[in-house]
């Protein structure tokens, strides 16, 4: 009776059943992909965390022994600190740099497509090639970074071989490849209604007031999205650290994702 009131004379039990089946058939490809490639591996990983498994031998249930051994390991606390330190400094740096470049590239000047391509291309560089390039740049003997400092009469640095500078070097590497965040910010900036900006300009609002009171509030969903993606990415640092330093020097770049430590 209730369904008849909702659907009217069109309601029939067979019709409702066919619509339900059709709905499940339409979402079936996504549902299979989610179970096989997302939910399944997540559940399997959670189960394996309670087991001792060397791949070649059958898994053996050990309960919470893996977690207790991890917590007792002093390198675990150090890796957490390195990861949080990298996230705390790196994510804001990525957001500010990518947003600043997006604001500049959003200006209607000659050659804007070329500039956008130049700033976006580094983000397409493979991670291993990116790491090798920056290892060469930060080489304390013949790297371009020390050559640049020498031109200004400044002393050279050890960069990736200095425990105090190693994570900062990784942050610079990330800023160089922040083109994907820049593109997202650029898309958000172009979605800001020009009518609102023109009305604010007519009312006497300058460029800074338009940016602070109109552009930033309307861009807040995009900023939040890039913030979340940046935090997730900062907790998944592995390849560039493994290739560049393998966790050194003195475990200064040993991040939360396990890296074979030279020490």
The domain in which residue 83 lies consists of 74-244
Give the residue with greater pLDDT, 257 vs 94: 94
| 35, 154: one domain | no
| 176, 208: one domain | yes
Residue 205 lies in a domain: yes
Structure tokens at 106: 């959003």
pLDDT tens track for 212-252: 999 999 999 999 999 999 999 888 888 888 888 888 888 88
Instruction: Label residue 259 by pLDDT band (50, 70, 90).
Output: low
| 32, 124: one domain | no
- Say how many domains are in the chain: 2
pLDDT tens track for 44-59: 988 988 999 888 888 8
Query: pTM of the prediction?
Result: 0.79
Please report, for residues 53, 67, 68, 185, 222, the alpha-carbon distance to residue 72 in angstroms, rounded to integers and kept in the order given: 20, 9, 6, 42, 40
pLDDT tens track for 83-94: 999 999 999 999
Instruction: Label residue 10 by pLDDT band (50, 70, 90).
Output: low
| 237, 132: one domain | yes
pLDDT at 6: 46
**DSSP assignment string, 2-28:** HHHHHHGGG--HHHHHHHHHHHHHHHH
Residue 249 lies in a domain: no
Please report, for residues 24, 98, 110, 115, 243, the alpha-carbon distance to residue 104 in angstroms, rounded to integers and kept in the order given: 47, 10, 12, 10, 33
Instruction: Label residue 15 by pLDDT band (50, 70, 90).
Output: low
Residue 262 lies in a domain: no
């Amino acid at each position: 009776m209730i369904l008849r009131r909702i659907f009217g004379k069109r309601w029939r039990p067979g019709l409702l059943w066919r619509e339900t089946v059709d709905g499940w058939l339409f979402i079936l490809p996504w549902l299979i992909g989610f179970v096989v490639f997302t939910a399944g591996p997540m559940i399997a990983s959670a189960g394996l965390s309670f087991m001792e498994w060397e791949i070649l031998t059958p898994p053996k249930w050990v309960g919470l022994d893996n977690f207790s051994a991890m917590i007792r390991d002093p390198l675990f606390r150090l890796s957490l600190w390195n990861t949080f330190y990298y996230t705390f400094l790196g994510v804001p740096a990525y957001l500010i740099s990518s947003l600043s470049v997006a604001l500049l590239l959003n200006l209607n000047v000659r050659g804007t497509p070329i500039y956008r391509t130049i700033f976006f291309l580094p983000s397409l560089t493979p991670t291993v090639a990116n790491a090798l390039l920056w290892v060469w740049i930060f080489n304390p003997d013949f790297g371009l970074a020390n050559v640049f400092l020498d031109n200004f009469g400044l002393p050279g640095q050890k960069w990736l071989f200095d425990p105090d500078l190693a994570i900062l070097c990784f942050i610079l590497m990330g800023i160089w490849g922040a083109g994907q965040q820049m593109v997202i910010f650029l898309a958000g900036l172009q979605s800001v209604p020009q009518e609102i900006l023109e009305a604010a300009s007519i009312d006497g609002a300058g460029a800074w007031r338009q940016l602070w009171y109109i552009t930033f509030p309307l861009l807040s969903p995009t900023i939040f999205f890039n913030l979340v993606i940046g935090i997730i990415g900062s907790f998944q640092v592995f390849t560039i650290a493994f290739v560049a330093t393998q966790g050194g020097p003195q475990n200064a770049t040993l991040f939360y994702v396990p890296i074979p430590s030279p020490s």
